[in-house]
Amino acid sequence: MPHTGTARPIPRIMLSVLCFPVLLVLAAGCDSGNGHRIVFSVGGTPSALLVWEELIANFEAQSDWRVTILRQPADTGQQLQALLVALDSGQDDPDVFIMDVAWVGLFAAAGWLRPLGTIDTEPFFEQVVEQVDKYNGKLLALPVYMDAGLLYYRKDLLKKYGYAGPPRRYEELTAMAVAVQKGERRDNPGFYGFVWQGAQYEGLVVNFLEFAGRGGGMLHQRNGRDVLDMTVPENRRGLTWMRDLIREHGISPPSTYTAMREEEVRLWFQQGNALFERNWPYAYALHDAPGSPVRGNVGVAMLPGWETDEPGLPTLGGWHIGISAQSDAPDGAMAFLRYVVSRGPQKRLALRLGWNPGREDLYDDPELLEKYPHLPVLETALEHARSRPLLPFYIQLSEIAQQTLNAALAGNIAPGPALRDMQSQMAALLARYGRETLLPEGTKTAGERGQ
Amino acid sequence: MNRPDARNLLLFFGVGFTLLFCLSPFVYMLLTGFNTSPDFLRPGGNMAFTLDHFHTVIFSPQLHFPRYMLNSIVISAASACITVFAASLAAYALTRLPVPWKGPIMVFVLAISMFPEVSLLSYLFKFMSALGWANTYQALILPYVAWTLPLSLWILVSYFEQVPHDLDKAGLIDCASRLTILIKIILPVAAPGVFSTLLLAFIFAFNEFLFALMLTTDYAARTIPVGIAMFQGMHGEIPWGEIMAAAAVTTLPVVILTLLFQRRIIQGLTRGAVKE
Amino acid sequence: MRAETIEKLSSLGFLGPLAFFIALFIVLPVTGTFVDSLFRDVVFLDRAFIGLENYRALFSHPGFWNAMRFTLLFVIVSVPLEILLGLAIALTLNETIPLRGMIRAVVLIPWAIPAAVSARVFELIYNYSYGAANYLVRVLGISREPVNWLGTDLGAFAAVVATDAWKTTPFVAIILMAGLASIPEILYAQARVDRAGFIRRFRSITIPLLWPVLIVAALFRTIHALRIFDVIYVLTGGGPGGATESVSLFAYRYFTTGDYGFGAAASVVLFIMALSLSVFYVRLGGFGKRRRE
């Protein structure tokens, strides 16, 4: 049997191999102490985040706080997970962060937001601040970026096919899209009439709420209280229409419900392969940038409605800024927050990233108006915008909606049953969280339903 | 003379199929990573060689890729070393010391390797959060050690069992402690098994996804599998070229390890999973 | 007396680190998850003991049954597929062929690559517009229209099975290779003397003697397939419309939206399923071989 006898260097090698990673671990885990440092978490494409770095550099020049930027992916689902895990695990970083408007309810109810104290909220869109940013009377966040869905259209194509202007109703939109697509397909086989976000993510719910129109949506006012009802006929009409766009009229690509999110939709339209696009206002700057194939031909309008010429209800989107309740540098965080929501940075974000300011007082700024002629349309849209339900468990409700809506688009389930299914799942969720009061009257509880 | 020909033909096809099956996605990954545009298989698409993607992936600070690599390597190496340390001690005890309930212990450890990761996840998360260790190296290393211990133990037990007890006795006569015997006598002899275990533990830790997904929040401790899953382009589109370049760089160390040490890896796997 | 006590203490000491890690980072979290599933543990509500309420809600949640259905279907389809493919590869590699070592190394490559990474490669392969899969579909004339792999239930299911099979077939092949190697060559030699054909030899010698290993491999794969997460998270995200959502992914979603109690309940159910199978496996495979010696 091979027997080595003398002591080999193996044990020593193993010991050092073992120690090295341990040392690295200790070194890496070493907290450099806080000092005057705040951590700021923001998501976006790496190119967008470069603008934030400029803002941070500016801030650092005027204050003695250092800011470390924590770059999150552009995907909102991943941003949420990162923030949620960081906050829920009790970490003191990030100190300041940007959150989607749909999360403010959850963060507020979970106690992760530090009250902002006395900040003048006058320059901001009042109704948004009241609805979204205040919880139990305390101001917990401020809008940095306001968003509402818009309808983009190709001015040149509408003119080419003899239409006077963008559609005011969804019925018209369908007709126009079908006609133009037929014509354009002769030269461009990849042309589609209408591109919108249908992948299984939050954006799908946003689109759905817009296409459901007035009377549709999740929460409804009945007998003086809020009621959650997905089965209203307007929802059914909207969902059927969405499904037919793909499966019946073929004016939306089959990848709509698998891959189409904001950027995919924007790129599709920007490459000249669509007549209509539903997207957020950010797309305008990119469509109009030098080098864009559709530059100069892009029009922007309010989303259509159903049956009447009244404009539709865009869904309110956007990003809000808040301070972590667990922050170890609240003063610095506050200073940075004030800086970000002040006129200068807001204007720069608007000019460089196409971020619509949360400050209403910037909407008549001549420089912005010159760069973004669609700003007045946007201001109207923001005034009409409908926010998603501001419940702490909105995210769970949305996940239920995302899955069922996507299944309906995929053709796996008809719209009517899909919405009923959605409603019963949401009802079960509400029961679990003790919020049955939000259910329509006559809804049986789980025990009675005998499911 | 027909049968050998038929057999050879069958073998030829067998080998061909095997190679095609195992290599084609890998080759496709490389092709895309070196191509200017990922749509070269589209009708009318064409191939054009470029190193841009690799350059972006390795040198772009916003993508944090080198950091992910560092994290993965350190975490995997540390886990592998600590696992071998703990498993060697335990394997020695189980093969040479009077330990009660040896059988049940081995069975228990085996059963543990069957636990779904998700069943540990939430509590592990709370545990690490309570310690303030979320998003740190140790948050991943410690669970990884525990997670790779069962396989490591089984492999080392099967190797240690084959080392004759006479060697121990020789050491004991010289008044060496059990620990010294382990380190100076048994481990050198079972070195191939130890090496197999190190390799397998490293690979398992390197490839782990779920714990890394939930226990890390940013590039400070994030590992490569999570980094690649979340990979996005500079402007928000899915940058297939860069993703494949990143994937190629990621798989490089593992592929090299595999090619060099395939025999050791296979020996380790078969010992751990199938008792000969 | 003293020597014996020293030995006993030594053995405890030697087992110490193992016990430490397993107790603290496996047993404790599993127990903790079990306990947590009995609580209303939601990030924005007060913690309260609710007994089996989470389970009741779980079993009346259509999403959970959807996940169960997918997971079980996935197991039923992928495990036999991987066993068959693995067997084919193992049989090939069992013969003396040139460069056998190299080929074995190549076979290991899919197994060695992180699942998340290979899932991204397959995500590209199944890309609708320019992926390799649709390229083959077009070039081989299977269909004139590109297949919407990740957009249809069946396509996504096939994609997930294929991706997982690519990654784990090598592992099965290796296990089976070890099993094949332990079949004494003399049996084949005798069979050849008896003029038994290839198929006859396969049926009468290979399969019966390989059977225990096949069972072991199948059970091993089944238990691992139950917990599938990585491939699905990256390749389909559980879509389209939840068609490829596994139980692991289902539980994970609830963790990342702050409902830990509910997610814990789902993961406990998965745990019980895996544990039952593993008991079966240990009975059959782990100690079956020992008893045979």
Q: Is A413 left (phi over 0), alpha (psi -120 to 50) or beta?
A: beta
**Partner B, chain C 216-245, Cβ-Cβ below 8 Å:** 216, 220, 223, 226-227, 229-230, 233-234
Q: Return the domain boundaries, chain A.
A: 37-147+317-384, 150-301
The answer to whether B133 faces chain C, any CB pair under 8 Å, is no
Q: Are A37-147+317-384 and A150-301 the same fold in CATH?
A: yes
CA–CA dist A419, A233 (Å, integer): 10
The answer to whether A24 faces chain B, any CB pair under 8 Å, is yes
The contacts of residue C197 (CB under 8 Å, 6+ apart) are none
Q: Name the H helices within B114-239.
A: 118-130, 137-161, 165-173, 178-181, 187-189, 191-207, 210-215, 224-229
The pLDDT, as a whole number, for residue C229 is: 95
Q: Contacts for B163-170 with beta carbons within 8 Å, 24 or more apart?
A: B163/B189, B163/B190, B164/A1, B165/B96, B166/A1, B167/A1, B167/A3, B168/B96
Contact assignment for A3 to B132 by CB distance below 8 Å = no
Name every chain A residue with its beta carbon within 8 A of the beta carbon of C151: 254-255, 257-259, 410
Q: Contacts for A18-27 with beta carbons within 8 Å, 24 or more apart?
A: A18/B81, A18/B82, A18/B85, A20/B77, A21/B74, A21/B75, A21/B77, A21/B78, A21/B81, A22/B78, A24/B74, A24/B78, A24/B137, A25/B74, A25/B78, A25/B137, A25/B138, A25/B141
* Structure-token pair, residue A6: 């003398």
3-state SS assignment for residue A318: strand
The pLDDT, as a whole number, for residue A297 is: 93
**To 10 degrees, the CA torsion angle through C179, C180, C183, C189?**
180
Q: Which residue has the higher pLDDT, A67 or A446?
A: A67
Neighboring chains of A (3 or more beta-carbon pairs < 8 A): B, C
Q: Concatenated DSSP letters for A214-260?
A: TT-SSEEEETTEEEE-S--HHHHHHHHHHHHHHHTS--S-GGGGTT-
Q: Return the domain boundaries, chain C.
A: 35-292
Contact assignment for C263 to B122 by CB distance below 8 Å = yes
The answer to whether the peptide bond before residue C240 is cis (omega within 30 degrees of 0) is: yes
**Architecture in CATH for domain C35-292:** Orthogonal Bundle (1.10)
**Partner C, chain B 222-241, Cβ-Cβ below 8 Å:** 224-226, 228-229, 231, 240
The pLDDT, as a whole number, for residue B212 is: 94
Contact assignment for C151 to A410 by CB distance below 8 Å = yes
Name every chain C residue with its beta carbon within 8 A of the beta carbon of A425: 61-63
The answer to whether A14 faces chain B, any CB pair under 8 Å, is yes
Name every chain B residue with its beta carbon within 8 A of the beta carbon of A85: 125, 134, 214-215, 217
CA–CA dist C73, C79 (Å, integer): 10
Contact assignment for B137 to A73 by CB distance below 8 Å = no
Contact assignment for C108 to B263 by CB distance below 8 Å = no
Name every chain C residue with its beta carbon within 8 A of the beta carbon of A79: none
| Residue among C43, C62, C253 minimizing CB distance to A425 | C62
Contact assignment for A403 to C152 by CB distance below 8 Å = no
Neighboring chains of B (3 or more beta-carbon pairs < 8 A): A, C
Most confidently modeled range among A192-196, B2-6, B156-160: A192-196
Name every chain C residue with its beta carbon within 8 A of the beta carbon of A85: 256
Distance of residue B18 Cα from the nearest chain C Cα, in angstroms: 6
The pTM of this model reads: 0.84
Work out the angle at residue A76's Cα, subtended by the Cα atoms of residues A75 and A77, and round it to the nearest 5 degrees: 95
The pLDDT, as a whole number, for residue C122 is: 95
Distance from the first to the final alpha carbon of chain B:
37
- How many CB pairs below 8 Å do chains A and C form together? 95
The answer to whether C258 faces chain B, any CB pair under 8 Å, is no
pLDDT of B99 above 80:
yes
CA–CA dist B235, B238 (Å, integer): 9
CA–CA dist A435, A429 (Å, integer): 9
Side chain identity at B69, as an amino acid letter?
A: M
CA–CA dist B99, A292 (Å, integer): 74
| Residue among A24, A46, A72 minimizing CB distance to B74 | A24
Counting residues of chain C whose pLDDT is more than 70, the rounded percentage is 96
Helix axes A415-432, C62-94, angle to 10 degrees: 100
3-state SS assignment for residue B136: coil
| Residue among A80, A199, A254 minimizing CB distance to C148 | A254
Q: Which residue of B112, B115, B140 to mutate against C (max C Cβ within 10 Å)?
A: B115
Q: What is the pLDDT of residues A320-365, one digit of tens each?
A: 999 999 999 999 999 999 999 999 999 999 888 878 888 888 998 9
CA–CA dist A283, A269 (Å, integer): 10
Q: What is the pLDDT of residues A173-209, one digit of tens each?
A: 999 999 999 999 999 999 999 999 999 888 999 999 9
The answer to whether A75 faces chain C, any CB pair under 8 Å, is no
Q: Which residue has the tokens 């998700």?
A: B118
Give the DSSP H or E segment for A139: strand A138-139
The contacts of residue A332 (CB under 8 Å, 6+ apart) are A36, A37, A38, A65, A95
User: Contact, C180 vs C206, CB < 8 A?
Assistant: yes
Q: What is the pLDDT of residues A232-255, one digit of tens each?
A: 999 999 999 999 999 999 999 998
The residues with which A219 forms a beta bridge, in sequence order, are: A228
Nearest CA in chain A to B72: A21
CA–CA dist A339, A144 (Å, integer): 11
CATH number for the region A37-147+317-384 comes to: 3.40.190.10
Contact assignment for A89 to B85 by CB distance below 8 Å = no
Contact assignment for C15 to B89 by CB distance below 8 Å = yes
CA-wise closest residue to A347 among A372, A322, A330: A372
Name every chain A residue with its beta carbon within 8 A of the beta carbon of C152: 410
**Partner A, chain B 75-104, Cβ-Cβ below 8 Å:** 75, 77-78, 81-82, 84-85
Distance of residue B155 Cα from the nearest chain C Cα, in angstroms: 13
How many other C-beta atoms can be found within 10 angstroms of the C-beta atom of residue B117?
22
What is the phi/psi pair of residue B55, to 5°? -65, -45
How many other C-beta atoms can be found within 10 angstroms of the C-beta atom of residue A233?
12
Contact assignment for C57 to A428 by CB distance below 8 Å = yes
Q: DSSP label at A440?
A: P
Mean residue pLDDT of chain B comes to: 86
Q: What is the pLDDT of residues A36-55, one digit of tens each?
A: 889 999 988 777 888 999 99
Name every chain A residue with its beta carbon within 8 A of the beta carbon of C150: 258-259
The pLDDT, as a whole number, for residue C195 is: 79
Average confidence (pLDDT) over B94-108: 86
Contact assignment for C267 to B146 by CB distance below 8 Å = no
CA–CA dist B127, B135 (Å, integer): 12
Contact assignment for A428 to C243 by CB distance below 8 Å = no
What is the phi/psi pair of residue C20, to 5°? -55, -55
Contact assignment for A412 to C241 by CB distance below 8 Å = yes
Strand C39-40 to C48-49 pairing:
antiparallel
Average confidence (pLDDT) over B201-210: 93
Nearest CA in chain B to A268: B237
* Structure-token pair, residue C69: 């259905």
Name every chain B residue with its beta carbon within 8 A of the beta carbon of C130: 38-42, 45
Q: Concatenated DSSP letters for A21-68?
A: HHHHHHHHH-----SSEEEEEEES-HHHHHHHHHHHHHHHHHSS-EEE
How many other C-beta atoms can be found within 10 angstroms of the C-beta atom of residue C165?
20
Contact assignment for B62 to A49 by CB distance below 8 Å = yes
Q: Is the ipTM of this complex over 0.95?
A: no
Q: What is the pLDDT of residues B213-271, one digit of tens each?
A: 999 888 889 999 999 988 876 665 678 988 999 999 998 888 888 888 888 888 877 77
pLDDT of C246 above 60:
yes
CA-wise closest residue to B116 among A440, A279, C29: C29
Average confidence (pLDDT) over A293-322: 91
What is the phi/psi pair of residue C200, to 5°? -65, -40
Q: What is the pLDDT of residues A308-323, one digit of tens each?
A: 888 888 999 889 999 9
Q: What is the pLDDT of residues C183-232, one digit of tens each?
A: 888 888 888 888 777 777 788 888 888 888 888 888 889 988 999 999 99
CA–CA dist A298, A270 (Å, integer): 9
Name every chain A residue with its beta carbon within 8 A of the beta carbon of C42: 433
Lowest average pLDDT, out of B13-22, B74-83, B146-155, C274-283, goes to: C274-283
The pLDDT, as a whole number, for residue C91 is: 86
Domains annotated on chain B, with CATH? 64-230 (1.10.3720.10)
| Residue among C56, C62, C262 minimizing CB distance to A421 | C62
The pLDDT, as a whole number, for residue C290 is: 42
Average confidence (pLDDT) over B79-94: 93
Name every chain C residue with its beta carbon within 8 A of the beta carbon of A247: none
pLDDT of B14 above 90:
no
Distance of residue A448 Cα from the nearest chain C Cα, in angstroms: 13
Distance of residue A173 Cα from the nearest chain C Cα, in angstroms: 25
Contact assignment for B85 to A18 by CB distance below 8 Å = yes
Q: Which residue has the higher pLDDT, A381 or C74?
A: C74
The contacts of residue A351 (CB under 8 Å, 6+ apart) are A367, A368, A371
Question: Regarding the domain with residue range A150-301, which homologous superfamily does it belong to in the CATH classification?
Answer: Periplasmic binding protein-like II (3.40.190.10)
Q: What is the pLDDT of residues C250-289, one digit of tens each?
A: 999 888 888 899 999 999 999 999 988 878 776 765 554 4
Q: What is the pLDDT of residues C19-53, one digit of tens each?
A: 999 999 999 999 999 999 999 888 888 888 988 98
Q: What is the pLDDT of residues B117-149, one digit of tens each?
A: 999 998 999 899 888 888 899 999 999 999 999
Query: Over the Cα atoms of chain B, what is R_g?
Result: 23
Mean residue pLDDT of chain A comes to: 86
CA-wise closest residue to C176 among C89, C61, C110, C102: C89
- How many CB pairs below 8 Å do chains A and B form together? 112
Contact assignment for C267 to B121 by CB distance below 8 Å = yes
Side chain identity at C181, as an amino acid letter?
A: A
| Residue among A254, A392, A428 minimizing CB distance to C61 | A428
Name every chain A residue with its beta carbon within 8 A of the beta carbon of B132: 90-91
